[in-house]
Amino acid sequence: MRKSLVLLLVAVLSLVGISGLAKTKLIFAVHWSDYQVEGVKDEKENITVKGLRQYVEEYQKSNPDVEIEIQSVPFDDYLKRILISHTSGVIADVYVLYSLWGVQLVDSGILDQVPKDIVDKIKSNFVRAAVDGATIDKAIWGVPVEVDNYALIYNKKLLQEAGFNQPPKTWDELVAMAPKLTKKNPDGTIAQYGFAFLSGWDSAVVHPYLALLHSNGGKMFTDDFTECLLTSKEAVEALEAELKLFKNGATDPAASVWNFPAGKVAMMIMAPWYETSLKLGFKDQYEETVGVAPIPYLKKPATAGYTWFIAVDAASKNKKAAWDFIRWMTLQDAGGFTRMGELMAKNIGAIPPNKTDINYFKGELDDLYTSVFVKELENTYQEPNVAQGQEIKTILMREIIEAWNGRKTAEKALSDAKVQIDKILAEFYK
């Protein structure tokens, strides 16, 4: 009897060992901050808003043969980490990726092709701007999880104090209002900005410019990406429109959008995810202080947009398991919404690109802040998915800042940018 029990115990332990060895492990790389991964907690450490980890734990509970390890990578290191990992052979299985990196990752053979059933759902259920963001060479390379665009954020109290009852609708109106919203220190430095850009961040420099470029009827590249169009009349006029704010004293290169919550900026152009910071900054004064409107236009309403999408590494040994998890997280009905949509709307503060989620989370998306961004999706022009997109974006940022500082005219800055960018395009498209 004792011998039989020993043999039975050995058999059970063997099965447990085999089961353990058979468990599929997925590494999921994201750029999100701590509360976006771990969830929002109250003073007693109770979860009040779910983060990514709670969804992963839910999936693992219903799929005990799958283990998912979340790896948080700082945004500035993310692309570099992906590229380096492929030389070392230590890769993640699943990524949440910035659309601008897509061409480089596809050309490098890093991304796995998206299964047809997922592609079909993306084409039918997701907003146009997000589909464009995940599309490279007419193929969709991941499931859009976040679509962002830009709007004018303004301080209602500061505008009212200066005698303005509503925000500007056109760029000329903005240029006229901004100096009247500017206050200076005795030494001539600006104490309160009528308008603020942000010199140290490429998106804060380039995206507002692209919004004005499209508003003026222009675009950055030819359709086949063989030439940069930054020396066009429309492109030069768009940058000259920005420079009017520097010339009339409403802003300077030291301005920062991050000073808006301190009440030191009257107007700025910003993305939907900044809402949480504004609520924390203004506290109980938030609703009576913060206003949101479409970006004042030159010729027609327009804003710039970009996308984050979730994708699978082509070198993953667990591609089927990875795509199964993505289906569950981004496409499966979780009660009239998707889990990823819930994460975006309730925690991260971004616009979920799935039309079902946009309709379901009206309470979160129809508030005084996000509702304008959702409406402006119809006027959103996706940041172009072009080879070496990040390098090109950095070049344009540097030249725009040269113009902001008065070291170059708009025409000269954009001409210099075109020369550098065309050299890059010639390597990939000619």
Question: From the first residue on, what is the mean pLDDT of each consecutive set of 10 residues in the chain (430 residues)?
Answer: 45 45 89 91 87 97 97 92 88 95 94 98 95 93 96 98 97 98 93 94 96 98 97 98 97 95 96 88 94 98 96 97 98 98 91 96 92 94 93 97 98 98 94
pLDDT for the residue 259: 95
| Same domain membership, residue 375 and residue 353 | yes
The residue out of 348, 364, 382 marking a domain boundary is: 382
145: region left, alpha or beta (phi > 0 left; psi from -120 to 50 alpha) = alpha
Burial of 129 (0-12, 13-18, 19+ CB in 10 A): buried
pLDDT tens string 369-428:
999 999 999 999 999 999 999 999 999 999 999 999 999 999 999 999 999 999 999 999
4 occurs within a structural domain: no
Gap between the Cα atoms of 144 and 376, Å rounded: 18
69: CATH: 3.40.190.10
Position 18 in a domain:
no
71 domain-assigned? yes
CB 253 within 8 A of CB 405: yes
pLDDT tens-digit profile of 191-236?
999 999 999 899 999 999 999 999 999 999 999 999 999 999 999 9
pLDDT of amino acid 21: 53
Q: How many CB atoms lie within 10 A of CB 352?
A: 31
Assess whether 138 and 45 both reside in one domain.
yes
Judge contact between 140 and 330, C-beta under 8 A. no
Residues 183 and 263 in one domain: yes
Query: Does some domain include residue 347?
Result: yes
pLDDT at 42: 82
Are residues 76 and 40 part of one domain? yes
**16 in a structural domain:** no
- Do 255 and 142 belong to one domain? no
CB 155 within 8 A of CB 267: yes
Say yes or no: 263 and 371 in one domain. Answer: no
Give the total number of structural domains in the chain.
Answer: 2
Q: Which pLDDT score is estimated for 88?
A: 83
- According to the model, what pLDDT value does residue 193 have? 97
Domain-located, residue 412? yes
Listed residue (353, 351, 376, 380) closest to 364, CA to CA: 351
Residues 52, 115 within the same domain: yes
User: Can you give the chain as a three-state secondary structure string?
Assistant: CHHHHHHHHHHHHHHHHHHHHHCEEEEEEECCCHHHHHCEECCCCCEEECCHHHHHHHHHHHCCCEEEEEEECCHHHHHHHHHHHHHHCCCCCEEEEEHHHHHHHHHCCCECCCCHHHHHHHHHHECHHHHHHCEECCEECCEEEEEEECEEEEEHHHHHHCCCCCCCCEHHHHHHHHHHHCEECCCCCEEEECCECCCCCHHHHHHHHHHHHHHCCCCCECCCCCCECCCCHHHHHHHHHHHHHHHCCCCCCCCCHHHHHHCCECEEEECHHHHHHHHHHHHHHHHHHEEEECCCECCCCCEEEEEEEEEEECCCCCHHHHHHHHHHHHCCCCCCCCHHHHHHHHHHCCECCEHHHHHHCHHHHCCCCHHHHHHHHHHEEECCCCCCHHHHHHHHHHHHHHHHCCCCCHHHHHHHHHHHHHHHHHHHHC
- Co-location of 137 and 164 in the same domain: no
Q: What are the C-alpha distances in Å from 310 to residues 52, 57, 294, 419?
A: 13, 18, 28, 34
Q: Is the domain of 255 the same as that of 373?
A: no
Residue 159 shares a structural domain with residue 291: yes
Let me know if residue 13 belongs to a domain: no
Question: What is the CB-side half-sphere exposure of residue 313 using CA atoms within 13 A?
Answer: 19
Task: Note whether residue 328 is domain-resident.
Answer: yes
The pLDDT score that the predictor gives to residue 277 is 86
Give yes or no: residues 404 and 373 share one domain: no
CB 205 within 8 A of CB 197: yes
Domain range for 293: 151-305+386-429
Is the domain of 345 the same as that of 205?
no
